[in-house]
Amino acid sequence: MRLSKVSAISFDLDDTLWPFRLAVERAEVALHSWLREHAPRTGATLPNWRALGALRDQYERSRPDLAGNYQALRLGSIRRVLKLAGEDVALAEDAYTVFYSARQKVELYKDVWPALTWLNPRFPLVAVTNGNADLRLTGCAAFFGTHLSAATFGYAKPDARIFLEAAKSVGVQPEALLHVGDDFDLDVLGSLNAGLQAAWIVRKRLSEGKAATCENSRWYLTIRDLSMLCRALGGPPLLNSAKDR
């Protein structure tokens, strides 16, 4: 790695800047409550909000052609439960709006805001995601000059094209862009294969064997939180979020 050559940074979003599962669970609670009010017969199929996730996963398995299209998968699963309950399928669009709005109410990891505040004046920042988070609704848009999503760009990580587009969007060569993400295959290997530098953020404790492998890597940086990233790039310690969480 050549951190001294980093001119810009791209970030994954879900499970890198905020916990994904928490946001989705909150959205499913909101959706379940809305369905109980506006389509009460869905209660027989959805005894609680957790059933929404199971139904969505079941629908994804039945529609491999929609893999990665999170809006279509969620909408399709909502339509399915409305149809099963004998409710108006046309309610699906309004139901999805409720879900999507609640899904954007994320809780940033404690290290994220101070880290982005330090990084933003020093590096162009790009969001690169396979998910459907809207940075404007999450409150993070001011930190990022560009937001690339697989749904709008047409290619998803680990495809090299989305990483190369991220570098192009901020006017740097791929080797000068550092990509930060939590998924080893999608974020680390994907960005390395595209010629970028990579930082693997591992917020949960790794097994000892895996941790040793990470620490010995010459190809990517392994960090526990974004404070470690800032320190690696010459910044001060900002917040020991891993201890505070």
Query: Tens digits of per-residue pLDDT, 9-59?
Result: 999 999 999 999 999 999 999 999 999 999 999 999 999 999 999 999 999
Residue 238: which pLDDT band, with cuts at 50, 70 and 90? Answer: low
The answer to whether residues 238 and 230 touch, using CB atoms and an 8 Å cutoff, is yes
Residue 223: which pLDDT band, with cuts at 50, 70 and 90? Answer: very high
pLDDT of 1: 77
- The 8-class DSSP code of residue 31 comes to H
Among candidate residues 85, 87, 81, 113, the one with its CA nearest the CA of residue 99 = 81
pLDDT of 208: 44
Reply yes or no on whether the pLDDT at 117 is more than 90. yes
Reply yes or no on whether the pLDDT at 210 is more than 60. no
Written as one string, the DSSP assignment of 192-208 is HHTT-EEEEE--SPPPH
Locate 113 and state its tokens: 């805001």
pLDDT of 204: 79
pLDDT of 2: 87
Average pLDDT over every residue of 86-107? 96
Average pLDDT over every residue of 81-101? 97
The answer to whether residues 200 and 188 touch, using CB atoms and an 8 Å cutoff, is yes
